[in-house]
Amino acid sequence: MKRKIIVTLLMSLTLMACGDDKTAEQYLTAAVNFEQQGELNSAIIEYKNVLKLEPNNLTARLNLGNIYLNDNELLAAKKELKLAMRITDGRRDAIVPYATVLSYLNEHEELLDLPLLAASLSSDKMVKAYYLRGQSYIALEDNEKAIEEYTNATSLDRSDPYGMLSQAVVSHLKADKQQAKVQIKQLLDTYPNMPEAVLFYGIMTQAEEDFETAIEQYRHYLTIEQYKVDYVKLLLAETLLNINDVEASLAILQDVLERFPLQPMASLMMAKIEFDRENFTESLDFAKATLNRTPKHYMANLLAGMSAFRLSDFDESYKRLNRIEKKLAGRTLPIIMLAINNIKLGNIVHASKLLKLAGTIDEKNVDLFLFAANEFKAAQDYRTTLTILEEAEKVQPQRSKIKLAKGEALLRLNDQSGLIELEKIVFDRNFTSTVSPILTTQYIRLGRVNELDALALRLKKGLADKHDGWIMAGIAAINKKDYSQAELEFSHILKGNPESVGALLNLAKLKAQEKEYDQSLSFIDRALALAADNYTLLSTKAKVIFLKTNDSAKAREVFKSAYQGTHQSEELVVERAVIYASEGKPLEGIKLLEEIQQRPELSEKYWNTLGDLLAKTGSEGEALKVFEKWASINPQSPIPMLKQIAMTERMKIYDQGLLVIGQAQDKFAYLKKLQLLEVNFLILNNQLAKARKAFSLLNKIDFSSSDYSTIAGELAFKEKNYHGAILKLTPVYQDKPSLRIATSIAASYLMTKQHKVAIDFLESHLKSNPKHSVLYTHLASAYSASGDKRATEVYEKLLAQYPENAVVLNNMAWHLLMIDDFDNALKYAQKALTINAENAQILDTHGMILLKLSKYKQAEQSLQKALLLEPNDIDITLHNAELYLLMGNKAKSKRLLNAVSPDLPEQQEKRTELLSRI
């Protein structure tokens, strides 16, 4: 048994002091004698005495390095052998031991950089040098170069033990395992105690799952080379794990970790043991200990990632598994975990790609696939959700959980076969209460009330002890307006359970529908006595009070009375904030919402309300930041980014909106609405060529006819195809009126000189939507163009409301110009110019008024500037041509007229009339 060398500074100083009168040769002789007798501590001291006198004594330096090497003092060995190589002729003798040290220290790049071929080595040393180089290439995962080096070793001397070992390794690398086994056995017959051969045979048999032989070899190795105990003990521990001897393996690992707490491979095996025991916290800690030393280690990252996933630490799991993604092919569980991690981080498209690499679903992994399906559902990727569920159903065709999720996904995709899936499990009493409301809502939405009634009857018979059938029947009766039958259905539930909050709520809704508000409120109060903070009950009570009194203040008192502070449910806090806003105190509402912002998993309603309140107070930038924060907290949902996009549209920062749309498309490419939003923002940003190209790429069947026609109409309007805009937008408006569509239709009527139609359209719209005051500008323009005196009245009302609105001032000026009130027209035009002196339309109006007043030089200044700002505007060009004609510059007027191609008949008439005067 070789002893561990313990060299103390005191011993070294004492012995060196005693031998001051000795020569270097005498010290060297003593050192060699001590080494031969096995007294290595004394030998080391004597060698050091030699080197103190003769630092370049090759024998002393080389022998000292070899002692350290043989006793596994690798850093000390490296130092001495490196110094030995610097001594004349030292490289030849020191380079192979030095390479051996580097191999043990895993410093393979440095080993391969050694000039072995230039060292003039003897045959036996060269064989070992080639062998060591082969080992380094193996460690660096370059098997082809490793084979070259091993082959060189064998070719040099097939009888050398390292040559024979190299031959066996080559056979093994070439997958000729039988030949490798024959060769290694032959080597061990000749050299039974060659450590490298014993170790290789152990590793080889372990890989072949011949664990008994492997254990035998490792134990034999330990009797030969105790100084390498930790490395081989770890191999032994690993092999013991392979035969499920966990306790024996644990004993070895704990022994190693007691002496070397940060030993990476021991930590890794402990991580595996703890993971198998489902001690995921401990498994993660041990895996991290390995990664602290070897950050790229595949198995350590795998165990850390999977353990973190089981602990719901998805960020940590992503960090570890993402590092080894390229090596996960065929590893179903970690691939699914990584896919889910990517969804959690909002990388939905990449998650879908990963899922295709995850392999097939089986009984062992089906729940993890269902977890992934649920995450894709949360990200609104219903197509991928459905794909997973259909595969899972093949493995567990009778599982209700899968049918529920599949039915919901189909309905999200507007596939009514989802109802069939849900009907299959409505009689599974574990899912009845979940499925019944979904079926009820869908059947009512589709107008299939009789089918709903029939299903309710079957439920009442099949599951008589559950209330779902009666609730379904009651709702069906309400939709048939058979209120007495509905009351019977809900009352039946109360007879069996007088404290059924659901039954009381439904009766309250029923009585409200019958306008029996006092009875409705009585039922709600009974329910609130059982569930005082129930938001649905409070909301229903507020609605009933409003229906009864038409007094919104009294309705709000319901929530104000229920509200006790921000410790209550999020729904109540949000509602109280909304009430503050309705009372003209939005900042109080914002303050309440910000007080609960640290709560986990705040709802969509919370973020929407906070953002909307901020926007209403003029803090649109802060509202945008709120939605950005929401997106960072909930990256797997597209909703926060859609809110960001909507806010950028409201703020008219279209470039930023397009940037967010691009980011959303990278993450949620499956959301077709993003394509429409892109076209919309390109239109709003006047990037019409890009908008037309993007629109041409849309697949019409991916969108509702309303959404598609809206974008088509808005694009036509911007492209000045006003008749096309009217044609496309009118059906959309009739189905769902909106301010934007009304504005585009009205403007199109005005641009096509359909003033009477515009007036009728606008008067009708404003009667139904009096808050859309912006449209009064168009109405005034229509009145003005029709010679209707009401134009002045409308403009005056608008200016009383918006006295600094440059557009209204300009329109008023143009109207007065049209009725020949030039002096007043000029006053309004000049005021508009003081507000916005760079607006081409205002400059055009100002110039035309001056033209009518025969102030041609002043008119020229305004009209020329207008044309510079809008060189393609036909009306402004015609106005400039008219001015130059009046100024006597017929040539310039003609050049301008020849340069335009009018879009509208009246423009063509004006051009023809001007040309006739030249």
Distance CA 33, CA 36 (A): 5
DSSP string, 314-329: HHHHHHHHHHTGGG-T
Q: Which two tokens stand for residue 343?
A: 């969804």
The reported pLDDT for the residue numbered 7 is: 33
Domain count for the chain, please give it: 2
CA distances from residue 172 to 104, 143, 207, 616 in whole angstroms, order as listed: 22, 11, 11, 74
- Residue reference for tokens 């998805």: 314
For the cut 80, the answer to whether the pLDDT of residue 4 exceeds it is no
The reported pLDDT for the residue numbered 367 is: 94
Number of neighbours of residue 765 by Cβ within 10 angstroms: 22
pLDDT in tens, 344-363: 988 998 999 999 888 899 99
In a domain, 321, yes or no: no
In a domain, 232, yes or no: yes
The reported pLDDT for the residue numbered 823 is: 95
CA distances from residue 453 to 181, 308, 465, 481, 483 in whole angstroms, order as listed: 77, 49, 18, 13, 14
Distance CA 526, CA 56 (A): 101
Comparing C-alpha atoms, which of 797, 751, 757, 753 is closest to residue 773?
797
Mean pLDDT value across the chain: 91
Comparing C-alpha atoms, which of 328, 289, 321, 323 is closest to residue 306?
321
CA dihedral (152, 157, 158, 159) positive or negative: negative
Distance CA 831, CA 116 (A): 92
The reported pLDDT for the residue numbered 20 is: 54
- Domain membership of residue 220 as a residue range: 192-260
The reported pLDDT for the residue numbered 226 is: 62
Of 208, 239, 260, the one marking the end of a domain is: 260
In percent, the amount of the chain with pLDDT more than 70 equals 97
Comparing C-alpha atoms, which of 56, 47, 54 is closest to residue 84?
56
- Which helix or strand (DSSP H or E) is residue 864 part of? helix 856-869
Helix extents (H) in 208-263 = 211-224, 229-242, 246-259
Average pLDDT for 370-377? 94
φ, ψ of residue 563 in degrees (nearest 5): -75, 125
pLDDT in tens, 121-165: 899 999 999 999 999 998 888 999 999 999 999 999 989 999 999
- What 3-state class would DSSP assign to 87? coil
CA distances from residue 319 to 295, 315, 345, 497, 635 in whole angstroms, order as listed: 11, 6, 11, 52, 16
For the cut 80, the answer to whether the pLDDT of residue 72 exceeds it is no
Q: By the 8 A CB rule, do 69 and 100 touch?
A: yes
The reported pLDDT for the residue numbered 2 is: 35
The reported pLDDT for the residue numbered 9 is: 28
Q: Which two tokens stand for residue 181?
A: 């086994």
- Conformation bin of residue 550: beta by default, left when phi > 0, alpha when psi is -120 to 50: left
Distance CA 221, CA 205 (A): 14
For the cut 60, the answer to whether the pLDDT of residue 714 exceeds it is yes
Distance CA 520, CA 669 (A): 47
Q: Which two tokens stand for residue 763?
A: 């008067």
- DSSP 8-class letter at 304: H
Distance CA 704, CA 612 (A): 27
- pLDDT band for 15, please (50, 70, 90 cuts): very low
- What 3-state class would DSSP assign to 699? coil
pLDDT in tens, 396-442: 999 999 999 999 999 999 999 999 999 999 999 999 999 999 999 99
Q: By the 8 A CB rule, do 363 and 397 touch?
A: no
Give the type of residue at 412: R
Distance CA 218, CA 236 (A): 6
- pLDDT band for 5, please (50, 70, 90 cuts): very low
- DSSP 8-class letter at 601: S
Distance CA 51, CA 5 (A): 19
The reported pLDDT for the residue numbered 198 is: 92
The reported pLDDT for the residue numbered 586 is: 92
- What 3-state class would DSSP assign to 788? coil
Number of neighbours of residue 551 by Cβ within 10 angstroms: 11
Average pLDDT for 637-648? 95
For the cut 80, the answer to whether the pLDDT of residue 16 exceeds it is no
pLDDT in tens, 715-740: 999 998 999 999 999 999 999 999 99
Q: Which two tokens stand for residue 488?
A: 């019977």
Average pLDDT for 854-875? 95
Q: By the 8 A CB rule, do 644 and 624 touch?
A: yes
Distance CA 242, CA 829 (A): 91
CA 602 to chain centre: 18
In a domain, 230, yes or no: yes
CA distances from residue 883 to 108, 703, 824, 906 in whole angstroms, order as listed: 87, 50, 21, 18
For the cut 50, the answer to whether the pLDDT of residue 3 exceeds it is no
- pLDDT band for 229, please (50, 70, 90 cuts): low
- pLDDT band for 228, please (50, 70, 90 cuts): low
In a domain, 472, yes or no: no
In a domain, 204, yes or no: yes
The residue among 625 and 568 whose pLDDT is bigger is 625
In a domain, 14, yes or no: no
Q: Which two tokens stand for residue 518?
A: 């006092």
Comparing C-alpha atoms, which of 44, 53, 55, 45 is closest to residue 25?
53
Q: By the 8 A CB rule, do 329 and 313 touch?
A: no
For the cut 70, the answer to whether the pLDDT of residue 8 exceeds it is no
Give the type of residue at 410: L
The reported pLDDT for the residue numbered 416 is: 94
Of 227, 244, 260, the one marking the end of a domain is: 260
Q: Which two tokens stand for residue 76?
A: 């000390």
Distance CA 797, CA 791 (A): 10
φ, ψ of residue 858 in degrees (nearest 5): -65, -40
- Residue reference for tokens 């500008």: 777
Number of neighbours of residue 221 by Cβ within 10 angstroms: 25
For the cut 80, the answer to whether the pLDDT of residue 118 exceeds it is no
Q: Which residues of 260-295 are buried (b: 16+ CB within 10 A; e: fewer)?
A: eeebbbbbbbbbbbbbeeeebebbbbbbbbbbeeee
pLDDT in tens, 253-296: 988 888 777 788 889 999 999 999 999 999 999 999 999 988 88
For the cut 80, the answer to whether the pLDDT of residue 648 exceeds it is yes
Distance CA 221, CA 201 (A): 10
pLDDT in tens, 448-485: 999 999 999 999 999 999 999 999 999 999 999 999 99
For the cut 70, the answer to whether the pLDDT of residue 655 exceeds it is yes
- pLDDT band for 12, please (50, 70, 90 cuts): very low
Burial class (CB in 10 A: 0-12, 13-18, 19+), 677: buried
User: CATH code at 228?
Assistant: 1.25.40
- DSSP 8-class letter at 115: -
For the cut 50, the answer to whether the pLDDT of residue 816 exceeds it is yes
Of 260, 279, 306, the one marking the end of a domain is: 260
In a domain, 248, yes or no: yes
Distance CA 415, CA 217 (A): 64
Each as own residue / partner, the long-range contacts of residues 864-867 (CB below 8 Å, 24 or more positions apart, any chain) are 865/840, 866/840, 866/841, 867/840
Least confident of 14-23, 201-210, 478-487, 595-604: 14-23
The reported pLDDT for the residue numbered 232 is: 80
The reported pLDDT for the residue numbered 17 is: 38
In a domain, 225, yes or no: yes
